[in-house]
Structure 1
């Protein structure tokens, strides 16, 4: 697993994703929040985003990401043309993920204008799907009382799991087996949660609890996305290695027994 990740320059790929995220995160979040806000109101969407970011990453990092959204929204109204531009910009992050997944899996990305357009449309669809999923979470937060916050948190975790599974399956032309994909995705989500918690603690420690230093800049977001991307790609490397070896040890033992 680590050998494939290192051989395919996983840390460099994660850094490239983080760099792309600095430019794509704001339009991506604007599309997601605006999509949910059209149905449930932007205050509800922003409120849910703020609460979850604060609980998961800490108030400093949450404030930084909210500043990203405010800056992007403050540049003018989002009409049809603006929405299309935001979708295109936000999809750039997924396009970078596609290239990284192909590299980790050891695939050569097909070339050609038609293929490039198709891949970009897939990434735009991923942005739309992310907005729809966030809208569902906003609806659950609005309809479930505060005592049901655990249910909402569980739904958010399930949404993240589904997102990772879809990423492993559809961000490249290779289609790994479903059961193995779900198993590896579960471990990847847990590792991503621990990585995000570690980054949040690091930001607070280095900044002394203030929002004016590292947590008040794009560096904090870059560090977070880099860590999450590295874990995601490490999970993809584990998935590919297990697939080439015939699945996890437990499944191989069952197969040999049969």
Structure 2
């Protein structure tokens, strides 16, 4: 068992390097900086139906403060507030909502293309109907982020209530509450990553395989966040950027988070093809190897024929 995990991990690292995942992570980080505020505005609005927008927004800031620091978290809070402000008039509101929709859904479209690269598939061309369908699917993932935020708020509320009751009865139970909090977080992250690997790329993959990959990705992501927070806390890379330091720290955090996420995706791809039910292109996609231009294939055949003569 241990040897299989080690072999799969080595193969995933090689795939991660061959696919130049760090370059894709850099591109996604740049895109995310511009799409993050619209994404979180919609997520906060979804969660705000139950807990209120202020509580949902504070939850995001509290979670990020421990990783990127209070400065970057406050910068993100200002970005959310600015993106959520709409000008007067119906036309301004419509334009604002449309901008939020395309910016937030575009992030998931780009993430889907990145995952397609990792899973070695490529989408076939389609018309405007296909584009609209893809945007709507991507927007469903945007709403899913709001549902996730809602679940985190609910879990924190439940654990907080249990903490007050249990701590009063047994003061030492605080440690158990902390462990339960981490386990709940890992469980939610596993489900989120499994759903992303299952439905976002244009592939057919078994649930068992994506849950294994999702669990590994959740562990990697948690360990990565600890490492990133330590790096940002001790090195202060944003100090060299002056006034833009908080934004630079946020960008670095997003970049390293994507690198860890893509490593988890590579592990899922290797695991599914070696120990699972294999990954196949879904309808509307083809293997990347099958997308080679005909003229290049013909040139290779002529070269082979020339070598034989």
Shared fold (TM-score, shorter chain, > 0.5): yes
Give the alignment partner of residue 28 of structure 2, picking from 10, 14, 17: 17
* Cα offset, 1:153, TM superposition: 5.3
Q: What secondary structure sits across from 2:122 in the alignment?
A: coil
Aligned to 2:170: none
Aligned to 2:220: 191
* Cα offset, 1:202, TM superposition: 2.1
User: Which whole-Å CA distance do the structure 1 matches of 2:237 and 2:124 have between them?
Assistant: 48
Change in 2 beyond 3 A, CA 1:170/1:30: same
Please, what TM-score do these two structures have when normalized by structure 1? 0.83
Aligned to 1:124: 139
* Cα offset, 1:142, TM superposition: 4.4
* Cα offset, 1:21, TM superposition: 0.3
User: Which whole-Å CA distance do the structure 2 matches of 1:11 and 1:174 have between them?
Assistant: 22
Unmatched 5+ stretches in structure 2:
1-11, 165-176, 278-309
8 Å CA contact 2:210, 2:268 repeated in 1: yes
Asked if 1:160 corresponds to 2:189, the answer is: yes
1:26-175 equivalence runs, <5 A:
26-74=37-85, 76=87, 79=93, 82-113=96-127, 114-142=129-157, 145=160, 147=163, 150=178, 154-175=183-204
Q: Which has the higher contact order (CA 8 A, sep 6+)?
A: 1
Q: What secondary structure sits across from 1:108 in the alignment?
A: strand
**RMSD across aligned positions (CA):** 2.9
Aligned to 1:246: 275
* Cα offset, 1:52, TM superposition: 1.9
Unmatched 5+ stretches in structure 1:
249-258
User: Which whole-Å CA distance do the structure 2 matches of 1:70 and 1:204 have between them?
Assistant: 26
Q: Which entry has the higher C-alpha Rg, 1 or 2?
A: 2
Change in 2 beyond 3 A, CA 1:120/1:18: same
* Cα offset, 1:182, TM superposition: 1.0
User: Which whole-Å CA distance do the structure 1 matches of 2:237 and 2:245 have between them?
Assistant: 12
User: Which whole-Å CA distance do the structure 2 matches of 1:214 and 1:181 have between them?
Assistant: 42
Asked if 1:237 corresponds to 2:248, the answer is: no
Q: What does the per-residue CA deviation read over 1:221-258, in whole Å, with 9 as the maximum and x for residues that have no partner?
A: 2211111111111111121122222349xxxxxxxxxx
8 Å CA contact 2:105, 2:142 repeated in 1: yes
Aligned to 2:3: none
* Cα offset, 1:16, TM superposition: 1.1
Aligned to 1:227: 256
* Cα offset, 1:54, TM superposition: 2.3
Please, what TM-score do these two structures have when normalized by structure 2? 0.70
User: Which whole-Å CA distance do the structure 2 matches of 1:109 and 1:34 have between them?
Assistant: 32
